Amino acid sequence: MADSFMPHLDKPVQIPSTSHFARRGVYFLWFGDEVVYVGQAENMRRRIGEHMSAGVKNFDGVSCVPCATDKLQKLERHYIQVMTPRFNKCSIAQEARRLKAKGMDLSINSHTQAYISPTVAAGILGITTDELNAMGSRGPRSINKRTPRTNVRRKLYVTASVLEYASARTQ
């Protein structure tokens, strides 16, 4: 589900004028050409200054995407899932890194028709498969699909729906 407020990630992040940094939004800390941290703040200029003062994260560039307060969490989680910056330590980033290490492309657009097993979906959500099944229509979208080799119908989850649901749960 790509919301209209989310920029397309196949295009480079635009670096706006410095006046944008005094506003709320999602910011990116860069080291070279790699995004090493994604954060969100009500005042990005102040928050980035805090990062610089702390000296914990090594970065040499900053960019941002201004957005409304009610969209901060969702947009930040979206970028963390897709970019998996090394300094983000939240569960979404850790799970995204694990899936990328297995060769999965985590961009939302690449998963509109990709499916995963209930065990993998439950792992991404940090719950048991019984809890996932109990969610029914309140949880991520699923389908019943025949497996080619065994011709048995089994429940599979739409990967994009699971990733979006995981992002919404952590807000």
Tell me, yes or no, if the pTM score tops 0.75. Answer: no
For tokens 């389908």, the residue is 143
The reply to whether 105 falls in a domain is no
Helix, strand, coil distribution of the chain in percent, nearest 5: 45, 20, 35
- Rounded to whole angstroms, the Cα distance separating 144 from 155 reads 4
Number of domains the chain is built from: 2
Q: Give the tens place of pLDDT for each residue, 84-98.
A: 888 988 777 777 777
Q: Which residue has the higher pLDDT, 151 or 128?
A: 128
Determine, yes or no, domain membership for 57: yes
In a domain, 43, yes or no: yes
Alpha helices in the chain (DSSP H): 44-54, 72-83, 91-101, 118-125, 129-135, 159-169
Distances (CA, A) of 15 to 77, 78, 122: 19, 18, 37
Same domain membership, residue 129 and residue 80: no
Whether residue 44 is contained in a domain is answered as: yes
Q: What is the CATH number of the domain that holds 44?
A: 3.40.1440.10
Q: Specify whether 27 is located in the same domain as 84.
A: yes
- Predicted confidence (pLDDT) at residue 120 exceeds the cutoff of 60: yes
Residue 15 has pLDDT above 50, yes or no: no
Pair 81, 132 in one domain? no
- The answer to the question of residue 102 being in a domain is no
CA distances from 151 to 66, 120, 144 (A): 49, 21, 12
Tokens standing for residue 2 = 């790509």
Boundaries of domain holding 29: 18-89
Q: Does 79 share its domain with 127?
A: no
123 and 76 share one domain: no
Is residue 100, in this structure, part of any structural domain at all?
A: no
Are 74 and 29 found together in one domain?
yes
Are residues 81 and 23 both part of a single domain?
Answer: yes
Lowest mean pLDDT among 20-34, 64-78, 112-126, 145-159: 112-126
Q: Is the pLDDT of residue 56 over 80?
A: yes
